[in-house]
Amino acid sequence: MKKLFFTLMIVLFPALLSAQNTMKLVYFNNFPPLSWEDENKQMRGILVDALTEAIQTRMGITVSHKGYPWARAQEMVRKGKADAFISLPIPERRSYTKVSSETVLPVTFTLFIRPGSPKIEALKKVKTVGGLKGFKVGSYIGSGWGRKNLVDAGIDVDIASTMNLCLKKLVAERFNVFTDVSQSVRYKIRELGLKDEIIELPNIIDSGEFQLCIGKESPFVNILPRYDEIVREMRKDGTLQKIYNKYR
């Protein structure tokens, strides 16, 4: 029996050690081109490529990439079931994570509406998030930006289960306007074949930076200073721009 036990330990220990030394990164699984799960259940996107290059290739830390509905991914980091995600560091996320100083992706928030909407002239005048008061605005479950800037601000919000459904509800005129990360919304509109059904107004009502958020109890929480150095190097040597270009 003892011989069998030691044999099993010899076989299993390397795998257990490897799992303990792997940084578990979680993502929104339906947020292209930033992060999404492909037909082979593999994570793809700007954020996935950027973190693989920074943490695994340049820092030598093995990483795993897993995608989930966005609310669930955040909850996994909150409960210590995953090490980190990358997103806008709103106050709620800062309450249970430590956040990098550097960003791998600056983002904007613009307005998306139905062509011919009776609200189009009024929406053209909106220059800030606060200017959306008086309109019905679409958002989706898990959007921390939407909760903080729309729901908590007292704006009339129609909340869908996913961004895909949100865009379909916009086409069905269930609300007046949708706003979220412009890069992702544009990609989704093309993916869903809605280019003739939804137009983008150029108004940038907000902007932000996607930063690495590591759970405060994660064993990897102390890598942030070196990670920030690496991201600065990637920006300077053109690596980040090459990643952006790959998904245009």
Q: Hey, where are the domains in the chain?
A: 19-106+210-246, 107-207
Domains 19-106+210-246 and 107-207 belong to one CATH topology: yes
- Confirm if 199 and 115 have CB atoms less than 8 A apart: yes
Mean pLDDT of 216-227: 97
Token pair recorded at residue 197:
């059904």
Q: What is the pTM of this model?
A: 0.81
pLDDT at residue number 142: 87
CATH code that applies to domain 19-106+210-246: 3.40.190.10
C-alpha dihedral (34, 37, 40, 42), degrees to nearest 10: 70
What percentage of the chain carries pLDDT values higher than 70?
A: 92
Count CB-CB contacts under 10 A for residue 223.
Answer: 21
Please, which pLDDT band fits residue 248 given cuts at 50, 70 and 90? Answer: confident
Residue 1: the pLDDT is: 52
Q: Is the bond leading into 219 cis (omega within 30 degrees of zero)?
A: no
The CATH number of the structural domain formed by 107-207 is: 3.40.190.10
Q: Is the pLDDT of residue 7 over 70?
A: no
- pLDDT score at 77: 98
